[in-house]
Amino acid sequence: QLSNRLEAVAKLVPQGSFLADIGSDHAYLPAHLILNNQITGAIAGEVVKGPYESAEKLVNDLLLTDKIDVRLGDGLEVIKAYDNVSAITICGMGGTLIRDILERGKNKKCLTRKELLILQPNVGSHVLRHWLVENHYIIQDEKILSENDKTYEIMVAEASDRKVELTESEELFGPFLMKESSDIFKKKWQFELEQYERVKKQLSQSKTNQDEKIAQINHQCDLIKEVLS
Ligand code: SAM
């Protein structure tokens, strides 16, 4: 039984994909997709020995060794050109970590730009959107969900031969998510706004000059108020 978060990611993986799930931990996502006949095969990449062994165990227990190749290695380096990976999932990490994995993968030529990227950052999704834009990827879809009092964002991106800019608000909130403006989205940003207001209050009581930080926070708050209005 997958978490709602991974279930939502699974729904975004195209039928018939050959998947590389990076930071796969137990390999729950590729195993689920294989068992549902949604993908033809997968690589489950892990950089840490413990999770790598958990993934190996699950794949062995489910008798899926001919469909899922569990590989130990850093980020996209587990992908080889002959794999013909058509989709990459990187889920359950911070946006900065996912961005760094993509950047290293790009520099080491493990990213061919043919793969559909399905990314689920736990925090810092704007960092990832920024990287996608700078690297000429186009965000095709986004989802937001909440599970166990946490909010998760998922984005799907495809390489393009041109740069499609996002506005400052689109980069922060997500172009699809801000348009959709779901209850979960509104709740998340209402909460963020309250956090910013709290920090601002603390900064304004500080003995040292915090004008610059306060101005930055005011700007963020203005963007949030605008998207919530
Ligand atoms: N993807 C799963 C999910 O969403 O439930 C597991 C998320 S788990 C919190 C993050 C996993 O990413 C950990 O197992 C960690 O070892 C792995 N990881 C972190 N950095 C990595 C890297 N550079 N390359 C491969 N795996 C990495």
Per residue, the 3-state secondary structure of 98-166, as one string, reads HHHHHHHHHHCCCCCCCCEEEEEECCCHHHHHHHHHHCCEEEEEEEEEEECCEEEEEEEEEECCCCCCC
The span from the first CA to the last CA of the chain, in angstroms, equals: 38
pLDDT at position 93 is 98
Residue 97, classed as helix, strand or coil, is helix
**Token pair listed for 34:** 């294989």
Q: What distance in Å separates the CA atoms of residue 47 and residue 68, rounded to the nearest whole number?
A: 16
Which residue segments constitute the domains of the chain, with CATH numbers given? 4-165 (3.40.50.150), 184-228 (no CATH)
Q: What distance in Å separates the CA atoms of residue 132 and residue 137, rounded to the nearest whole number?
A: 5
Judged on CB neighbours under 10 Å (0-12, 13-18, 19+), 100 is middle
Q: What distance in Å separates the CA atoms of residue 146 and residue 229, rounded to the nearest whole number?
A: 22
Nearest residue (by CA) to ligand 1, atom 15, is 23
Query: What does the pLDDT profile of the chain (229 residues) look like in tens digits?
Result: 899 999 999 999 999 999 999 999 999 999 999 999 999 999 999 999 999 999 999 999 999 999 999 999 999 999 999 999 999 999 999 999 999 999 999 999 999 999 999 999 999 999 999 999 999 999 999 999 999 999 999 999 999 999 999 999 999 999 999 999 999 999 999 999 999 999 999 999 998 999 999 999 999 999 999 999 9
pLDDT at position 88 is 98
Residues 6+ apart with CB under 8 A from 153: 120, 121, 125, 142, 143, 144, 174, 177
Ligand 1 near 51 CB (within 6 A): yes
Judged on CB neighbours under 10 Å (0-12, 13-18, 19+), 95 is buried
Q: Which of 6, 12, 24 to probe ligand 1 with, by most ligand atoms within 8 A of CB?
A: 24
Ligand 1 near 102 CB (within 6 A): no
pLDDT at position 1 is 84
Nearest residue (by CA) to ligand 1, atom 8, is 92
Ligand 1 near 48 CB (within 6 A): yes
Task: Please name which of 91, 87, 228, 221 lies closest in space to residue 152, comparing C-alpha atoms.
Answer: 91
Ligand 1 near 91 CB (within 6 A): yes
**Token pair listed for 196:** 């910013």
